[in-house]
C-alpha cells in the first residue's frame, strides 16, 4: 500500500482552496450554507461524519461545505474558521484540534451571527449552543476496564494518543488512567503520534522492538490500524508472545486486523461519527431557523468489537 492515501479521500469531498484558506469569493446562494470542519485533511476518520452531514443536507435542502487545513494544527484551524466568518456561512460544525485555542474564534463566529456546533471534542466554556459526540471520559474508562481484565490487573502498559491538548483525547487518557490507578498495572510510556498514521505505526514498531517485556498496549484512536498489518511486524510478535492490544475506533479498514487467524487486537471500541454528522447538521439547521436545542450535550453510542463478533459488525459497515 502506498503512503496512506486517505488525505486524498477527504480532499475529494472538501472544497479545494477557497474554504481551506478563506480566500476567494463564493457564489451567492439561497440555500443555507453549513461548513463542516474536521481536524485535518490527513485523517480519514471524519469521512463518515462528512458523508452523514452531506446526506442530511441533501434531504433538508442545505448546502454542506466540508473544509479543513492539511494537518492537525490549531493555528491553521483558526484560519479556516476566520475564512468561514468572512464568507458569512450560516453555520459551522467543528471538530476542534485544541479546545482552548479554538474557543476565541468559535465565540467570534457566534458573535457574528453564525451558529457553531461542536463535534467529538467539546469546548464547554465557549458560547457554543450544543456538543454532539462521544463521552470521551467514559470511552477511556471503558477501555481501561477491559485492559485491566485482560491483563489480569498487573503488568506494564503503553498508552498512545494523537495530539496532546485535544480535549477528547486527553479525556480518554484520563479515564483510562483513573481505572488502572490502584491496580498492579504500570504505565511505562506515554506517546503522541500528532494525529499522524505513519508516526503511530513507527512508535509501535520502535517501542515494542526495544521493550519486549511490555504486556499491554492501548491506543486511544485508530491511527495505526489504517495501515496494512504487514507494516506492524513488531505488533505481530507482541501478540504472538501474549501481549494485550486495545484500541478506540471501529472503522472499516481496521477490521483487517481482526479478520485473520491471529487477530491483532483484543478489542476495538468504536465511536459513531455518522451520528455526529447527522445530528449536528439537523440541530444546527434548527437553530439557524430560530428553533431551540433539545439536548445541549448529545452523547453518541459506543460500538464494542472483539474477535468473537467482528464479522457481525463488519457486515453492517460500508467499505471505504
158 and 173 both lie in a single domain: yes
Same domain, 160 and 309: yes
118 and 197 inside one domain: no
Is residue 1 in some structural domain?
A: no
- Let me know whether 264 and 281 are in one domain: no
- Judge if 196 and 77 occupy the same domain: no
Helix (H) or strand (E) holding 56: helix 47-60
pLDDT digits (tens, 9 = 90+) for 194-228: 989 999 999 999 999 999 999 999 999 999 999 99
**Any domain includes 223:** yes
**Within a domain: 299:** no
Q: How many domains does the chain have?
A: 2
Same domain? 175 vs 309: yes
Q: How far is CA 82 from the centre of its chain?
A: 23
97 and 153 within one domain: no
| C-alpha angle 199-200-203 in degrees, rounded to nearest 5 | 80
For residue 298, is it within any domain? no
Do residues 71 and 141 both lie within one domain?
no
Same domain, 92 and 196: no
User: For the segment 48-77, what is each residue's pLDDT rounded down to a tens digit?
Assistant: 999 999 999 999 999 999 999 988 899 999
Residue 35 is placed in which grid cell?
461548513
CA atoms within 13 A on the CB side of 221: 26
State whether 209 and 146 are in the same domain: yes
Convert the pLDDT of each residue in 143-187 to its tens digit: 999 999 999 999 999 999 999 988 899 999 999 999 999 999 999
- One-letter-per-residue 3-state SS of 225-253: HHCCHHHCHHHHHHHHCCCEEEEECCCHH
Residue 145 and residue 266 share a domain: yes
Kindly provide the residue ranges of all beta strands, DSSP E only, lying in 18-82, ordered along the sequence: 33-37, 63-66
Q: Look at residues 182, 188, 186, 185 and name the one whose alpha carbon lies nearest to residue 152.
A: 185
Burial class of residue 254 (count of CB atoms within 10 Å of its CB; 0-12, 13-18, 19+): buried
Residues 69 and 178 in one domain: no
CATH number, residue 167: 3.40.50.2300
Domain-located, residue 117: yes
How does pLDDT run across 307-318, given as a tens digit for each residue? 999 999 999 888
Domain that holds residue 224: 136-271+305-314
Q: Is residue 152 part of a domain?
A: yes
Amino acid at each position: 500500500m502506498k503512503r496512506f492515501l486517505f488525505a486524498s479521500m477527504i480532499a475529494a469531498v472538501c472544497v479545494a482552496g477557497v474554504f481551506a484558506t478563506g480566500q476567494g469569493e463564493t457564489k451567492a446562494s439561497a440555500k443555507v450554507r453549513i461548513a463542516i470542519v474536521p481536524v485535518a485533511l490527513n485523517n480519514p476518520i471524519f469521512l463518515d461524519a462528512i458523508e452523514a452531514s452531506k446526506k442530511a443536507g441533501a434531504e433538508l435542502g442545505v448546502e454542506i461545505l466540508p473544509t479543513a487545513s492539511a494537518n492537525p494544527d490549531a493555528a491553521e484551524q483558526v484560519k479556516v474558521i476566520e475564512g468561514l466568518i468572512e464568507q458569512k456561512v450560516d453555520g459551522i460544525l467543528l471538530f476542534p484540534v485544541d479546545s482552548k485555542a479554538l474557543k476565541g474564534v468559535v465565540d467570534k463566529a457566534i458573535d457574528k451571527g453564525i451558529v457553531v456546533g461542536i463535534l467529538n471534542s467539546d469546548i464547554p466554556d465557549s458560547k457554543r449552543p450544543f456538543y454532539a459526540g462521544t463521552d470521551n471520559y467514559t470511552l477511556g474508562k471503558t477501555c481501561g476496564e477491559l485492559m485491566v481484565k485482560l491483563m489480569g490487573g498487573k503488568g506494564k502498559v503503553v498508552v498512545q494518543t494523537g495530539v496532546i491538548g485535544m480535549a477528547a483525547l486527553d479525556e480518554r487518557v484520563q479515564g483510562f488512567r483513573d481505572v488502572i490507578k490502584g491496580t498492579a498495572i504500570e504505565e511505562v510510556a506515554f506517546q503522541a503520534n500528532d494525529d499522524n498514521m505513519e508516526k503511530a505505526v513507527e512508535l509501535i514498531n520502535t517501542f515494542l522492538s526495544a521493550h519486549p517485556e511490555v504486556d499491554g498496549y492501548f491506543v486511544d484512536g485508530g491511527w495505526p490500524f489504517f495501515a496494512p498489518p504487514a507494516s506492524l511486524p513488531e505488533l505481530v510478535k507482541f501478540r504472538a508472545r501474549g501481549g494485550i492490544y486495545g484500541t478506540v475506533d471501529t472503522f472499516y479498514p481496521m477490521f483487517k486486523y481482526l479478520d485473520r487467524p491471529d487477530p491483532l487486537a483484543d478489542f476495538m471500541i468504536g465511536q459513531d461519527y455518522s451520528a455526529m454528522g447527522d445530528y449536528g447538521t439537523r440541530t444546527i439547521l434548527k437553530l439557524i431557523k430560530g428553533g431551540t436545542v433539545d439536548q445541549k450535550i448529545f452523547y453518541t453510542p459506543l460500538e464494542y468489537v472483539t474477535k468473537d463478533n467482528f464479522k457481525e459488525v463488519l457486515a453492517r459497515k460500508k467499505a471505504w
